[in-house]
Amino acid sequence: MCFFLFLICSAGVLGFVLLFSISYSSAKETAARCRIILVIMMSVLACSLTPQTVAMAKEEKEELKLYAQAAVLMDADSGRVLYGKNAGEVLPMASTTKIMTCILALEYGNLDETVEVSSYAAGMPKVKLYVRQGEKYRLGDLLYSLMLESHNDSAVVIAEAVGGSVEDFAAMMNQKARDIGCYDSYFITPNGLDAVVNDNGRIHSTTAEDLARIMAYCVTDSPMKDKFLEITRTVSYDFTDASGTRSFHCNNHNAFLGMMKEALSGKTGFTNNAGYCYVGAVESEGRIFTVALLACGWPNNKTYKWSDMKKLASYGMERYQYRDIYEKKTFPDIPVANGIAGENASPYESATAGVCLDDGGEKEIRYLLCEDDKIEVTTQIAQTLEAPVAEKTEVGAVSYYLNGNLIRRYPIVTQGEVKERTFGYLCRYILELFLCCRQTW
């Protein structure tokens, strides 16, 4: 942008000089000065159009105009951030928290267990199911209340049933976040209501990158991903309390499921501090993208999140495709100093070690890439080795880099062992030669 402003200002200044000179010059002098000014402007333009300025202009052209204060588009398969806006900014996340509550309940809870409502759970503010202290419910039913209607009281009943208490369940949430690589999230509540820990001042919060990564775990990596998707994609659900006295009907309030045919899952959220939030996943042609939006407007801007979600989802689907970046590699044998060439070899023969790529049998590396992505494959391998050499000794590596960042590394290892040519070995070899010669006599 600064580059283009510079050109406009330069043109203005030169134009002013030209007009001034015309007033006090002959026609011949004016023509000469026009040619000089034109040459100067073309020189400035040529000098300014460096690869860096061209790249800057291209980057500015591709910048998405989003309402959200923080947003991330992520490849759910690799966890790579494909587009980010303030991706690491720590912000409250409201009821998008409930995707973590749900996946923990699915992984560690018994869905058929009957759970009892505490007075604390019954006292949660709306949005709520209006459960009453002492009532009992099937845990699995409450997950639909949690994810379809976003009921805050159901979240607490679930947390107390699975974790023993809200505090212990929050500890489980924070541990799970760390387990999946989310180190900037801090969970206090299972429902996402604004909260702060008084002794350290930390708030219930996450980042757009962490939230997108949690959703990626829920829909791709969790052993309970199918059940998670089943619940979050359910249009409506009916259930009763354990006694059959009270009946409930839940409707799915994730409107995005009806906005794009590629929509896979998602969860809305809102509090006064967090604003409107959303985390969702889309699936297209075998690709799964997750999107996290934080602070995406306040009342009356409830629809901003849908605009941002569609914009980021379309951006990913239009630009990124899977490519196989695997390169088959073969390597020459490596000379082994002071090694024995083989079982029947003489001490004078040169020893070598065969090597191969320890790739676990992989013959394909599918990675989601766009046209601007650059893949570099490097090979580092030892030129010589020193005996003894054990089997499966790492002697190098083949590394794959995406835009300068390491994404995959395969070790190069030895095939078989190479024993050392010791003094004892030489003595035994000479003795065997002597005995062999005696027998021929």
Q: Taking the C-alpha atoms of 126, 128, 134 and 138 in order, what is their torsion angle to the nearest 10 degrees? A: -160
For residue 438, what pLDDT is reported?
54
CATH of the domain at 345: 2.60.410
CB burial of residue 21 (10 Å; 0-12, 13-18, 19+): middle
Q: Tell me if 289 is assigned to some domain.
A: yes
Rounded Cα distance between 281 and 262, Å, is 9
Do 277 and 371 belong to one domain?
A: no
Provide the pairing of β-strand 263-271 with 247-251.
unpaired
Do 57 and 77 belong to one domain?
A: no
For residue 439, what pLDDT is reported?
61
DSSP run (H or E) holding 358: none
The distance of Cα 335 from the centroid of its chain, to the nearest Å, equals: 42
Cβ(369)–Cβ(77) under 8 Å? no
Rounded Cα distance between 397 and 64, Å, is 39
Rounded Cα distance between 226 and 206, Å, is 25
Range of the domain at 21: 2-62
Rounded Cα distance between 188 and 5, Å, is 48
The distance of Cα 130 from the centroid of its chain, to the nearest Å, equals: 37
Do 170 and 36 belong to one domain?
A: no
- Pure H helices in 69-183: 98-108, 119-122, 139-148, 152-163, 166-179
Question: Dihedral sign, CA of 92, 93, 94, 99?
Answer: negative
Which of 259, 293, 319 marks a domain boundary? 319
Q: Tell me if 441 is assigned to some domain.
A: no
Q: What is the 3-state secondary structure (H, E, C) of 377-416?
A: EEEEECCCEECCECCCCEEEEEEEEECCEEEEEEEEEEEC
- Pure H helices in 262-400: 304-319
Q: Tell me if 370 is assigned to some domain.
A: yes
Do 308 and 417 belong to one domain?
A: no
Side chain identity at residue 131, one-letter code = V
Q: How many helices (H) and strands (E) does the chain have?
A: 12, 17
**What total of structural domains would you count in the chain?**
3
Do 91 and 44 belong to one domain?
A: no
Q: Which of 228, 158, 215 is nearest to 182 (CA)?
A: 215
Q: Tell me if 434 is assigned to some domain.
A: no
Cβ(191)–Cβ(170) under 8 Å? no
Provide the pairing of β-strand 351-357 with 334-337.
antiparallel
For residue 14, what pLDDT is reported?
44
Do 86 and 129 belong to one domain?
A: yes
* 385-386 sheet: strands from edge to edge: 375-381, 394-402, 405-415, 351-357, 334-337, 385-386
For residue 44, what pLDDT is reported?
41
Do 220 and 358 belong to one domain?
A: no
First to last CA, the chain: 95
Rounded Cα distance between 23 and 183, Å, is 68
Name, in order, each residue with C-beta under 8 angstroms of 349's C-beta and a sequence gap of 6 or more: 341, 342
The distance of Cα 388 from the centroid of its chain, to the nearest Å, equals: 43
The C-alpha angle 269, 270, 274, rounded to 5 degrees, equals 110
Q: Tell me if 431 is assigned to some domain.
A: no
Do 178 and 81 belong to one domain?
A: yes
Do 245 and 355 belong to one domain?
A: no
Which of 44, 62, 80 marks a domain boundary? 62
Do 219 and 345 belong to one domain?
A: no
For residue 57, what pLDDT is reported?
36
- The three-class DSSP label of residue 204 is coil
Provide the pairing of β-strand 334-337 with 385-386.
parallel
- The three-class DSSP label of residue 119 is helix
CB burial of residue 411 (10 Å; 0-12, 13-18, 19+): middle
Q: Tell me if 324 is assigned to some domain.
A: no
Q: Tell me if 329 is assigned to some domain.
A: no
The distance of Cα 129 from the centroid of its chain, to the nearest Å, equals: 34
The model's pTM is: 0.81
Q: Which two tokens stand for residue 3?
A: 């580059």
Q: Tell me if 170 is assigned to some domain.
A: yes
Per-residue pLDDT of the chain (441 residues; tens, 9 = 90+): 444 444 444 444 444 444 444 444 444 454 455 454 444 444 444 444 444 443 433 443 368 999 999 999 999 999 999 999 999 999 999 999 999 999 999 999 999 999 999 999 999 998 999 999 999 999 999 999 999 999 999 999 999 999 999 999 999 999 999 999 999 999 999 999 999 987 788 999 999 999 999 999 999 999 999 999 999 999 999 999 999 999 999 999 999 999 999 999 999 999 999 999 999 999 999 999 999 999 999 999 999 999 999 999 999 999 999 999 999 999 999 999 999 988 777 888 899 999 999 998 888 999 999 999 999 999 999 999 999 999 999 999 999 999 999 999 999 999 999 999 888 877 877 777 777 665 655
Rounded Cα distance between 416 and 339, Å, is 13
For residue 15, what pLDDT is reported?
47
Rounded Cα distance between 305 and 250, Å, is 23
Cα–Cα distances in angstroms (integers) from residue 311 to residues 64, 67, 74, 293, in the given order:
8, 11, 13, 12
Do 231 and 95 belong to one domain?
A: yes
Cβ(68)–Cβ(86) under 8 Å? no
Do 165 and 19 belong to one domain?
A: no
Q: Which residue has the tokens 């999107």?
A: 291
For residue 1, what pLDDT is reported?
46
CATH of the domain at 124: 3.40.710.10
- The three-class DSSP label of residue 355 is strand
Which of 62, 89, 106 marks a domain boundary? 62
